């Protein structure tokens, strides 16, 4: 198959005929914005044997690739619209792989209402992929990492650590604590994280937060980003961290590991105490689990530290914060 027949057969259908993509026949895509809108843009790279295994197959690889990108748009409170795809194929990207890969993208396009508008295709020894995603926000209304204030409550969506456990199961670790159903649940959470798009949009719309991050490297690492950017310290409580019924089976030290596990793609965000009630109403209407895990504090001598406490309010020493890329 030539590069151009690949684009024509597999990628062009993903444009949904949207004029922005210009039929994938031009050097650029062209995006127009409404007067009161701004673009938010994010890029992720996805490398074989680092972010995925070839054995995961095209469907799961594509799905996770686009889900993690969508999660960045969620962290800004944006509405996803378009993406462009960097596609480095190797000999394992056969027709089945391509079909599955595009099916993975298409499913999410339908769920989140976005489409492909361009990209680049190359051959490589190892396969790797990259997406640049474009979303919109109302002018000036954005969630950012530096907007937490002293006294704000720290909330997280969903449950923490499932994806990290799923990865360990995928890599062959034998958890006899978990039954088959729990293992499947944890694997699903690893392969198919849920980008919290609606939550991000609603937090802005209802003026409930203007500070958020998506948890990609680990709860502690990403909370540290909020602290450093907002120039605050944080105090959080292990018994308040939401865990799935599977993860609940673990000991405290094992749970502590999950806080630096990464790949949760939940939203971590700051909320004024007076808005707590409204936030819990929002949780109900979105049918989402939103948990308060602690609060931001003025830092002592400019140290933007995280204090983690156990059931008896004793400090737990944090040894690892999250995944380090290099
Ligand atoms: P150029 O040579 O100018 O870099 P290409 O020949 O690589 O352009 O691409 C031709 C068209 O196909 C462009 O519109 C480009 O956006 C699109 N395209 C190439 N690769 C991909 C891809 N992986 N996904 C989506 N569109 C792609
Ligand atoms: Mg060109």
Got the DSSP string for 130-165? Answer: EEEEEEEEETT---BTT---TTPEEEEES-SSHHHH
Question: Closest-lying ligand to the alpha carbon of 93?
Answer: 1
Q: Strand, helix or coil at 109?
A: helix
If one residue of 104, 121, 133 were mutated to test the ligand 1 pocket, choosing by the most ligand atoms within 8 A of its CB, it would be 121
pTM of the model: 0.96
Centre of ligand 1 from the C-alpha of residue 77, in Å: 29
Cβ of residue 27 lying under 6 Å from some atom of ligand 1: yes
Cβ of residue 11 lying under 6 Å from some atom of ligand 1: yes
Give the C-alpha separation, 291 to 159, whole Å. 9
Centre of ligand 1 from the C-alpha of residue 151, in Å: 49
Asked if residue 1 has pLDDT above 90, the reply is: no
pLDDT computed for residue 170 by the predictor: 95
**More reliable by pLDDT, 258 or 262:** 258
Cβ of residue 98 lying under 6 Å from some atom of ligand 1: no
Q: How many CA atoms lie within 13 A of 323 on its CB side?
A: 17
161-170: per-residue pLDDT in tens?
999 999 999 9
Question: Closest-lying ligand to the alpha carbon of 28?
Answer: 1
Of 57-61, 68-72, 173-177, 268-272, the one with minimum mean pLDDT is 173-177
Q: What Å distances lie between residue 220 and 82, 148, 172, 199, 248, CA to CA?
A: 31, 16, 25, 21, 18
DSSP H helical ranges for 113-251? 162-170, 180-191, 197-205, 219-230
Cβ of residue 129 lying under 6 Å from some atom of ligand 1: no
If one residue of 12, 18, 24 were mutated to test the ligand 1 pocket, choosing by the most ligand atoms within 8 A of its CB, it would be 24
- Tell me which residue has its CA closest to atom 20 in ligand 1: 120
297-323 average pLDDT score:
93
pLDDT computed for residue 264 by the predictor: 97
Cβ of residue 7 lying under 6 Å from some atom of ligand 1: yes
Asked if residue 56 has pLDDT above 80, the reply is: yes
- pLDDT grade for 3, boundaries at 50, 70 and 90: confident
264-306: per-residue pLDDT in tens?
999 999 999 999 999 999 999 999 999 999 999 999 888 899 9
Q: Strand, helix or coil at 175?
A: coil
34-55 average pLDDT score:
96
185-227: per-residue pLDDT in tens?
999 999 999 999 999 999 999 999 999 999 999 999 999 999 9
222-246: per-residue pLDDT in tens?
999 999 999 999 999 999 999 999 9
Centre of ligand 2 from the C-alpha of residue 28, in Å: 7
109-158: per-residue pLDDT in tens?
999 999 999 999 999 999 999 999 999 999 999 999 999 999 999 999 99
Centre of ligand 2 from the C-alpha of residue 23, in Å: 14
pLDDT computed for residue 326 by the predictor: 72
35-58 average pLDDT score:
96
Asked if residue 86 has pLDDT above 90, the reply is: yes
87-98 average pLDDT score:
96
- Tell me which residue has its CA closest to atom 5 in ligand 1: 120
pLDDT computed for residue 162 by the predictor: 98
Asked if residue 325 has pLDDT above 80, the reply is: no
- Tell me which residue has its CA closest to atom 8 in ligand 1: 27
Centre of ligand 1 from the C-alpha of residue 23, in Å: 10
Comparing C-alpha atoms, which of 116, 90, 92 is closest to residue 104?
116
- pLDDT grade for 2, boundaries at 50, 70 and 90: confident
Asked if residue 180 has pLDDT above 90, the reply is: yes
- Portion of the chain with pLDDT greater than 90, in percent: 95
- Tell me which residue has its CA closest to atom 13 in ligand 1: 24
pLDDT computed for residue 156 by the predictor: 98
């Amino acid at each position: 198959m030539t590069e151009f027949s690949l684009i024509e057969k597999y990628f062009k259908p993903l444009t949904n005929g949207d004029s922005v993509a210009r039929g994938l026949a031009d050097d650029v895509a062209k995006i127009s914005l409404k007067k009161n809108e701004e673009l938010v843009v994010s890029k992720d790279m996805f490398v074989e044997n680092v972010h995925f295994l070839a054995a995961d197959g095209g469907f799961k690889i594509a799905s996770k690739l686009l889900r993690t990108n969508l999660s960045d748009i969620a962290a800004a409170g944006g509405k996803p619209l378009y993406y462009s795809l960097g596609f480095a194929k190797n000999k394992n990207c056969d027709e089945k792989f391509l079909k599955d890969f595009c099916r993975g993208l298409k499913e999410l396009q339908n769920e989140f209402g976005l489409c492909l508008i361009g990209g680049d295709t190359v051959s490589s020894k190892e396969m790797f992929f990259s997406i640049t995603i474009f979303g919109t926000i109302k002018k000036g209304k954005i969630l950012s990492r530096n907007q937490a204030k002293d006294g704000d409550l720290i909330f997280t969506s969903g449950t923490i650590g499932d994806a990290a456990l799923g990865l360990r199961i995928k890599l062959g670790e034998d958890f006899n604590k978990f039954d088959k159903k729990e293992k499947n649940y944890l694997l699903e959470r690893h392969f198919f994280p849920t980008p919290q798009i609606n939550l991000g949009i609603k937090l802005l719309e209802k003026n409930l937060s203007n500070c958020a991050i998506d948890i990609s490297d680990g709860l502690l690492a990403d909370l540290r980003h909020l602290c450093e950017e907002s120039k605050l310290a944080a105090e959080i409580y292990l018994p308040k961290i939401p865990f799935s019924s599977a993860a609940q089976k673990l000991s405290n030290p094992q749970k502590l590991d999950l806080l630096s596990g990464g790949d949760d793609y939940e939203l971590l965000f700051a909320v004024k105490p007076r808005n707590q009630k409204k936030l819990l109403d929002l949780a109900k209407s979105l049918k989402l689990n939103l948990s308060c895990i602690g609060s931001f504090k003025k830092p002592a001598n400019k140290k933007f530290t995280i204090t983690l406490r156990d059931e008896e309010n004793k400090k737990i020493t944090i040894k690892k914060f999250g995944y380090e890329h290099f």
